[in-house]
Amino acid sequence: MNVIENRGGGVDRRVLAEAVEALREGKIVLYPTDTLYALGCNALDARAIERLCRIKGLNPDKNTLSIVCSDLSQAAEYARIDNKAFRLLKHYLPGAFTFILPASTTLPKVFKGRKCVGVRIPDCEFARALAEELGNPVLTTSADAEDEDELRSAESLALLYQGQSDIVLAVDNGEGSATPSTVVDVTDSSAPEIVREGAGIFED
């Protein structure tokens, strides 16, 4: 696995181009967010999604899949966002939240089992640029490690996943967080429900 540095909190266009090329080829990349480092693939590539789910042990029929979007406009193409949900998302995003919303029909069939999708717009410029440059969302799932220090390090995570041939690239953005995003279910936008407390502070 190739580890490339994107330091300084911004977007190194060379690093971004290499990551986007990998996604377009159906590969999986390790990349930074505003919370944990994440594994991501092209959210419109069904085969890449299947490979990523297999690596993480996810069952799309039981686990809600999440996507990283560049902004609310892109999110609205892949999730159904009513007026109340839109106001909520606009208030909290970009930020350390995953909002569960009804999925639109533009997502691959793998999403149809649960009929909902987690939407992330991280407060991380590189993560948002990844979805913007790709032209569609990135399917995302947090990288796993037993040790908190490993969770924070792209190099350590790259070593843990080095046996996975589908993960071809790790983007090192410096020390990450060991706290996941806060998950809020807004499938009923009139009654938001916190599913998981995390880095984001939700006050409805």
Q: Do 142 and 156 touch, CB atoms closer than 8 A?
A: no
DSSP label at residue 168: E
Report angle CA 103, 105, 109 to the nearest 5 degrees. 90
Cα Dmax for the chain: 45
* Rounded-to-integer distance, Cα 80 and Cα 159, Å: 38
* Rounded-to-integer distance, Cα 42 and Cα 98, Å: 18
Q: Would the pLDDT of 22 be above 90?
A: yes
Q: Would the pLDDT of 190 be above 90?
A: yes
Q: 134: pLDDT confidence band, cut at 50, 70 and 90?
A: very high
| 191-200 mean pLDDT | 97
* Rounded-to-integer distance, Cα 50 and Cα 199, Å: 28
What would the pLDDT profile of 57-115 be if each residue is shown by its tens digit? Answer: 999 888 999 999 999 999 999 999 999 999 999 999 999 999 999 999 888 888 877 78
pLDDT of residue 109: 82
Kindly list the distances between the CA atom of residue 71 and the CA atoms of 65, 74, 121, 195, in Å, as whole numbers in the listed order.
Answer: 18, 6, 6, 23
| 18-23 mean pLDDT | 98
Strand pairing class (167-172; 97-102): unpaired
